[in-house]
Structure 1
Amino acid sequence: MGEYQFYALTTVILFFKMLANSVVQGVGRVNSKTFVTAEDAQFFAHVPPAPDEAPIVKRAALVWRNDLENIPIFLFLGLIYVTLGCWPEGAFIYFTIFIVARILHTIAYLNGMQPWRTIFFTFGMAMCVALAIQILLTVL
């Protein structure tokens, strides 16, 4: 598998990771019968809207926010990395570590596991830094 194909696979895996987080939110709402919007409360549970989200839904929303702060940057860096033809083996190493780190970060975040959440975040961010450095070394 070439770097572009591995980049595509990485993108799809990260999509499914984020999709799974959406499922956690939906299941959390249904299981707790806690819906903040009136139409969802009526449609799914025939209850009045809740004043606040269930705790797991709040955690999953925080995971989403963190993903949206980190995954797009990684994907842009990764695309530039493979387009420039930086160290090919590095793509497999950096992308794999990033994927694993983000999945473990999500698990740790959803379960309130410190310091693991921070450790996995740091591994993922380190891969972005590594990609950026490799890109700079290639273009300068």
Structure 2
Amino acid sequence: MPACFAENPAFTALMKYGGVLMAKTVLMSPLTGITRIVKGAAASREDAVALSGNDEHKIKRLMSKDPYVERLKAAHMNDLENILPFFVIAILYIATNPDSATATLLFKVFTIARYVHTIAYVGKIRQPTRALAYNAGLIINLFMIVQLIKYSL
């Protein structure tokens, strides 16, 4: 293994694709916030009160759940549940000194799968697109986990 992770092509690939994944994950929060404003869907009663001037009818309307905002929130939560474990698994996988072409392919496909998953989720694209994208990421994580276990035996 190289003395410095940054000299490892697999680690460089993770930095590249990981940066793209983290940008997507981080940008989901402001996207949800902007959509809440556009749709008039407050995140909390305090927000609804601030936006309504204490008009109880407006508060109720602002507190109703908007289906599109809920889809954005669900897509973001799915990212947090899948991308964060991916980083831990991928860093440990890199420590096994995998073939850099294989590692790069895994990171690239995982990244594409997560973008497709979000687009399918938020864009209401019919199944099985979202399920296939989710399963692609899951299989990649499981593959790397198996490699970790095999390496440690």
TM-score, normalised to structure 2's length?
0.80
- How much does 1:40 deviate? 3.0
C-alpha displacement of 1:38: 4.1
Partner of 1:110: 122
Deviation at 1:59, TM superposition (A): 0.5
- The change in CA–CA distance for 1:102 and 1:16 in structure 2 (over 3 A counts) is same
Identity of aligned residues (%): 25
Q: For 1:1-140, what aligned pairs fall within 5 Å after superposition?
A: 2-41=9-48, 48-49=58-59, 50-113=62-125, 114-140=127-153
Is the contact made by 1:102 and 1:121 (CA closer than 8 Å) also made in structure 2? yes
Structure scoring higher RCO (CA < 8 A, sep ≥ 6) equals 2
CA contact (8 A) 1:105 1:120 kept: yes
* CA distance in structure 2 between the partners assigned to 1:26 and 1:44 by the alignment: 14
User: For this pair of structures, how many residues does the alignment match?
Assistant: 140
Q: TM-score, normalised by structure 1?
A: 0.86
The range that moved more, 129-138 or 78-87, is: 129-138
Whole-Å separation in 2 of the counterparts to 1:11 and 1:84: 18
Gap runs ≥5 in structure 1: none
Whole-angstrom distance in 2 between the partners of 1:125 and 1:133 = 12
Larger Rg: 2
Structure 2's unaligned 5+ residue stretches are 1-7
Q: Does the 8 Å CA contact 2:42/2:48 hold for their aligned counterparts? A: yes
Q: How much has 1:45 moved relative to structure 2?
A: 7.1
Secondary structure of the corresponding residue to residue 141 of structure 2: helix
In structure 2, relative to structure 1, the CA distance for the partners of 1:128 and 1:29 (3 Å cut) is same
Provide the alpha-carbon RMSD of the alignment: 2.1
